[in-house]
Structure 1
Amino acid sequence: MATCDNLVRRHVLNTSPETDCIFCHSQMEDLEHILFLCEKTGEIWNAFLRWIGKSSALHHNAKEHFLAFIGLGNKAETRFLTGLWISIVWSIWKERNNCIFKQGVWNKDKLVLEIKMKLWCWKMIFKLEAPVLDLQAWLSLEGILS
């Protein structure tokens, strides 16, 4: 992925404040930071852990993070948790690109809503195992897998 650390390593960019994480500005952007370590994206992961009624200390490596996340549920919930993980990662990456290329502004609540809406659509299309709720309950309920 074209994260700032990769672009600096390939001499496409020079290290500068522009290579810092677009969300927290505390360190150089790399994949693990932007998706899993950044305090801002950590808020997203914590919001969704609460939403599914689980708690966990998740890994910082993408593969280990994914395996730990889908391991939070039982076998029947694996597809739902996989879809949720993919939706969160994809949405964070899209938000990162929006902030960099379109001068977007980080908005946690908007991002959480977008992820829930995306997952609602995927749930219907792919018949993911999840509680059958109306959309309003889906958006507001916490602990949906508890």
Structure 2
Amino acid sequence: MVWEEEEAYRLSCLLCTAPTLHNTNPDELLWCADSSKLFSVSSVYKWSESSLGNVIPVAASIWNNFAPPKVQFFGWLAWLGKVKTSSFLHRIGILIGNANLVCVFCHIEVESVEHIMLNCPFVWLLWSNIIHWWGLQWVIPGSVHGLLEWWSGCVMQKLEKKIRMAIPLATLWTTWKHRNDCVFNGSQPNLEALCELVKVRVAMWFKASKLQVDFSINDLAFNLPQVKYCIRNGG
């Protein structure tokens, strides 16, 4: 068969390029991913890290914080635009025909990731409240990627930054959970309750983390300026 002859030729060429064996040298195992030729856990880590390319700050901000794993995963989906919104489900054929695709909060725009997570007037009010809670001023970014990139781009005390980095994930997660409650259980949008829930979630996740802090959940949720002052001044 012609294909067998071709494969035999390829095998022959491959064998010709094999390294020469030296009968006088003993066999040994060498770890070629490190210049020392010695295997170590750190060399494996460096090799795997180099194969993945440069670390993306937004991705690092999603995975390297004290939010629960399911919330981190949801934040990753939101960053990639893969949240199962009504427009997404319609695009892949799950919702068909005259299915209602409008946002459950504003009842005006089609529910896309950027709309339900950022641009809906109701959700914009939520973000504005949370931004004010942290003590910032902002112009709303045009995408979830832009939001996470802006949020992670800061220099501050380590403990304070750990609290800060969980806030966007808590807001995205709480928004989506509230959206599902409205869609599937007939609940009505409640901005005040939603704002409080985001703050309490951040505080509860922080207290449940491995970080040893003396602040209570009530302090973190409702006295954040004082908490930040104590952190900055070592109190």
TM-score range, shorter chain: 0.7 to 0.9
Distance in 2 between residues matched to 1:36 and 1:73, nearest whole Å: 24
Q: How does 1:1-146 map to 2 (within 5 A)?
A: 1-14=83-96, 16=98, 18-72=100-154, 74=156, 76=158, 77-126=160-209, 133-141=215-223, 143=225, 145=228
In 1, distance between residues paired with 2:97 and 2:183? Answer: 16
8 Å contact 2:174–2:198 — kept in the other structure?
Answer: yes
Gapped runs of 5+ residues in structure 2? Answer: 1-82, 230-235
Q: Is the 8 A contact 1:87 1:118 kept in 2?
A: yes
1 CA distance for matches of 2:207 and 2:190? 26
1:49-80 CA distance string (max 9 Å, x none): 11010011131211111111232562623322
Secondary structure of the residue aligned to 2:187 is: coil
**Structure 1 Cα separation of the partners of residues 143 and 123 of structure 2:** 15
The worse-fitting range, judged by mean Cα deviation, of 118-127 and 95-104 is 118-127
Q: Compare 7-16 and 108-117 and name the one that shifted more.
A: 7-16
Contact map agreement 2:117 2:123 (CA 8 A) in 1: yes
- CA RMSD, Structure 1 to Structure 2 (Å): 2.5
Q: Quick one: distance in 2 between partners of 1:129 and 1:15? A: 54
The structure with the largest alpha-carbon Rg is 2
Structure 1 SS opposite 2:100? helix
The letter of the residue matching 1:99 is C
TM-score by length of 1: 0.84
Cα deviation digits, residues 92-118 of structure 1 (max 9, x gap):
010011100111111011111111111
Question: 2:103 aligns to what SS in structure 1?
Answer: coil
For structure 1, which runs of at least 5 residues remain unmatched after alignment? none
Q: Greater RCO between the two (CA within 8 Å, min separation 6)?
A: 1
Contact 1:23 1:96 in 2 (8 A): yes
Query: Post-superposition shift, 1:10?
Result: 2.0
Find the residue that maps to 1:20 and give its secondary structure: coil
Structure 1 counterpart of 2:113, one-letter code:
L
Greater Cα shift, 83-92 or 52-61: 52-61
The verdict on how the C-alpha distance between 1:142 and 1:124 changes in structure 2, with shifts beyond 3 A counting, is closer
Would the aligned equivalents of 1:22 and 1:100 in 2 still touch at CA under 8 Å? yes
- The whole-number CA distance in structure 1 between the counterparts of 2:123 and 2:167 is 15
Aligned pair count reads 145
The percent of aligned pairs where both chains have the same amino acid is 21
